[in-house]
Structure 1
Amino acid sequence: MHKAYVGEQMEYPGLIKAWLAFVRPKTWQIAIMPVLATIALAYSERHVFHPLIFLCTISIAILLQALSNMQNDLGYTQRKAETGNRKGFPRATAMGWISIRTAKIAIAVMAVLTLLNTAVLVWFGGWIFAAVGVLSLLAAYCYMGGPKPIAYTPFGELVVLLTFGITSVWGTYYLQTGGLSINAALLGLALGCFASAVLCVNNYRDREHDASIGRKTLAVVMGEENFKRLFTAILMIPYGLVCLMVLIEMSYWTYFFVMLTFPSCMHLPERMVSLKGAELNKVMLDCIYQLSVFSLFFMAGATMHAILIDLTVSSLK
């Protein structure tokens, strides 16, 4: 097996766990939950739900997230950026659990599957989704691939917001309804912020390691204090955007269900500041959890809104 990891080698965990480390399913919630929340929003606003389109949308979201994780894993190993002072989860190729050749083949297969899925979305939503699919593939590859990876710049959080927030939500909503709405725009920004917060913790945890290998992430460029303020703001924005939805149209007051998740969210900045090194991995997972519970409570509010509309219509008949 390929041996590229500079630090301590870990014992081979077995085939299944090795591949799980490569595709990182724990992060798939970042891709799945925005789709689910948007489906609920589309039903709340337009009373539409197309099951086949939903399945195609959720599958491409998972494919792109897995592909991004795989390319990230491989890219670090190829650049010999996986040094012993990194505190993140082990990378399968760096540990030698999956060979470089096997990783490249797997990534190629995933890319083909993503393109096939994109072709189906083009059939449903038009040629605009061909551009969306290609750009999403490029973003997944360029994050840690190519001559100038996004991961080596301060733009990682912005790319995540655009990809897993705006593109995911707006694309899902358009496929279901054939249009867009103000709430869809705001929801895309909100969920994109939570996705960016996950990367914020990742980059904050590895800021010393990243600086040592020439990665100028936002955490490295901004410095600790300013980056902590940014992280707090990113977590505040989604709740402000939901408040804006309700202020624009008070009939959406049930969307306020998401405010029940606010207390747990407010513990995250304090925990990021107080913990160090590998302890921050738990905070990163908690950010993913926060994205999930926010999405679930938004879904509950959107579903309740749809039910109330149905009851109102029925009572008028």
Structure 2
Amino acid sequence: MQPEIQSKQQAALERNEGWRVWWQLMRPHTLTASFVPVILGTVLAYELLDRIHVGLFLAMLIASILIQAATNMFNEYYDYKRGLDTEESVGIGGTIVRDGVQPKVIMQLSLLFITISILLGVYICANSSWWIAVVGLISILVGYLYTGGPLPISSTPFGEIMSGLFMGINIILISFFIQTGTITTTSILVSIPTTILIGVINLSNNIRDVKGDKEFGRKTLPVLLGRDRALKIMAGSFIVSYLWIIGLVIFNNLTPLLLIVFLSTPKAYKAVKGFIGKSEPIEMMPAMKATAQTNTIFGFLLSIGFIISFIF
């Protein structure tokens, strides 16, 4: 390994202290996949009703973040138990293997987060519909099964699809439904690009880990298709997401202000370019960060486009 890369890896794997241990455990760069869909779904509801229930919005936002954080903790716990994480592993919280926190503490904390999210879910259901409870419990189960259970979803080719569906369209439509009591064609169509981009975050993670996943016998999409094909899927997914917005403006009469999302294209380009020619996981971390940032900026800009159209 080149000295410069080795130095960067050593810095990246530096031991955390104090609150940083718990902050890194939640893998903060992934949390955008939980709060961006809530914001977008709520903005769409405001467009329909010209008002929102602030309590429902905050409850949904906090519950989504807690479920995402708990899912990350389940991942930390079960990857450690299966021997997938070591002190040299890149892209993990490292709370167990580097910071010495007991695995049972991680599991207890994740269950606490799930409990709080369920209580928030009761409040949401009481003020909207109890059908939300069914969808919410399924979402929590999928979050657990993503890395838990006899055949973790994360070890199959379906990780990208499941993360996109349950963290994208699922959250957007729940956020929209609890405010409006209905689901519209527009809310479904608008949720598609964000769903794709959340799946791409997962894909970028699997592209980075393709070498290690092969060694452990995991059958992720990049392992089955190869790194180069997976990268082409990643680039194609970005293109489809942006073209989808153009289609919504042309064919669904949505405001042209939504085209503001194209301001996020430099991040998408940086994400794809950042993987090209890279072989070490630590070298690909900037590309992964750019992938998550693309989803964040895209979602915020899409919401801003709608908000500006309300005002004017």
Same-fold call, TM cutoff 0.5: yes
Matching residue of 2:75: 72
Q: Is the 8 A contact 2:41 2:174 kept in 1?
A: no
* Aligned ranges 1:1-317 → 2 under 5 Å: 12-83=15-86, 86-276=89-279, 277-308=281-312
Q: 1:17 to 1:260 in 2, by over 3 A?
A: closer
Q: What per-residue deviation string (whole Å, max 9, x for no partner) do you get for residues 92-130 of structure 1?
A: 122253101211211221121121111112112212111
Q: Is the 8 A contact 1:143 1:151 kept in 2?
A: yes
Q: What per-residue deviation string (whole Å, max 9, x for no partner) do you get for residues 174-201 of structure 1?
A: 1111112222112222111111111111
Query: Tell me, which stretches of 5 or more residues in structure 2 are unaligned?
Result: 1-9
* Aligned residue identity for 2:179: Q
Which stretch has the larger CA shift, 60-69 or 81-90?
Answer: 81-90
Q: Distance in 1 between matches of 2:267 and 2:20?
A: 31
* Aligned residue identity for 2:212: H
Q: TM-score, normalised by structure 1?
A: 0.89
Q: What per-residue deviation string (whole Å, max 9, x for no partner) do you get for residues 9-52 of structure 1?
A: x6642231211121122321111111112222222243231111
Q: Is the 8 A contact 1:27 1:288 kept in 2?
A: yes
SS at match of 2:276: helix
Q: 1:55 to 1:297 in 2, by over 3 A?
A: same
Which stretch has the larger CA shift, 13-22 or 153-162?
Answer: 13-22
* Aligned residue identity for 2:265: F
* Aligned residue identity for 1:285: K
Alpha-carbon distance, 1:76 to partner: 0.5
Q: 1:251 to 1:129 in 2, by over 3 A?
A: closer
Q: 1:36 to 1:90 in 2, by over 3 A?
A: closer
Q: Is the 8 A contact 1:12 1:97 kept in 2?
A: no
Alpha-carbon distance, 1:88 to partner: 2.4
Q: 1:263 to 1:22 in 2, by over 3 A?
A: closer
Matching residue of 1:3: none
Matching residue of 2:4: none
Q: Which runs of 4+ in 1 moved over 3 A?
A: 83-87
Q: 1:84 to 1:19 in 2, by over 3 A?
A: closer
Alpha-carbon distance, 1:230 to partner: 0.8
SS at match of 1:195: helix
Q: Distance in 2 between matches of 1:88 and 1:251?
A: 38
SS at match of 2:85: coil
Q: Distance in 1 between matches of 2:93 and 2:112?
A: 23
Q: TM-score, normalised by structure 2?
A: 0.90
Alpha-carbon distance, 1:217 to partner: 0.7
Alpha-carbon distance, 1:85 to partner: 6.5
Q: 1:115 to 1:251 in 2, by over 3 A?
A: closer
**Would you say how many aligned residue pairs link Structure 1 and Structure 2?**
302
* Aligned residue identity for 2:288: M
Identity score, percent: 24
SS at match of 2:291: helix
Q: Is the 8 A contact 2:74 2:144 kept in 1?
A: yes
